[in-house]
Structure 1
């Protein structure tokens, strides 16, 4: 399955932001920042990763369901989707 680069541009941007947020979480822990602030940032990273994963799977599902080759079957797509839950 090849992902459409146009569909993946916002996903890549989201992942880059999450990467920056994760680096900030690490820094906050090392600097002994407030637990509430650390958890809030960690939650934001987690949500960003979830959204990126869902976008990748949604794009893959769309492609697989409309493609004559259908690289992944429904069961495989369902398994991928559930790995994010």
Structure 2
């Protein structure tokens, strides 16, 4: 079957998870925004700014993992 022969997916056939886990969606959006900001500014950032940006990136990635797996926050 060629791609032209395929019927478009009906609106009800897509998986709506992104609407059910709003906290995860918000953290993912924040992670993407932060990553884009780093990509734009990395060459002009001070070592302290880069260090903070890396820590924040790691924290956001941990939050994405926690929210997507349902794990509790890791002990500090």
TM-score calculated relative to the size of structure 2: 0.60
CA contact (8 A) 1:28 1:38 kept: no
Structure 1 stretches of 4+ moved >6 Å:
none
Structure that is richer in helix per residue: 1
Tell me which of the two structures has the higher relative contact order, counting C-alpha pairs closer than 8 angstroms and 6 or more residues apart: 1
**Which residue among 12, 35, 41 is the counterpart of 1:22?**
35
TM-score calculated relative to the size of structure 1: 0.54
Task: Calculate the aligned-residue CA RMSD, in Å.
Answer: 2.3
Structure 1: runs of 5+ lacking an equivalent: 60-85
Aligned length, in residue pairs: 56
CA contact (8 A) 2:23 2:67 kept: no
Structure 2: runs of 5+ lacking an equivalent: 1-14, 72-76
**Residues 1-26 of structure 1: per-residue CA shift (max 9 Å, x gap):** x99642x2110110111111111112
Larger Rg: 2
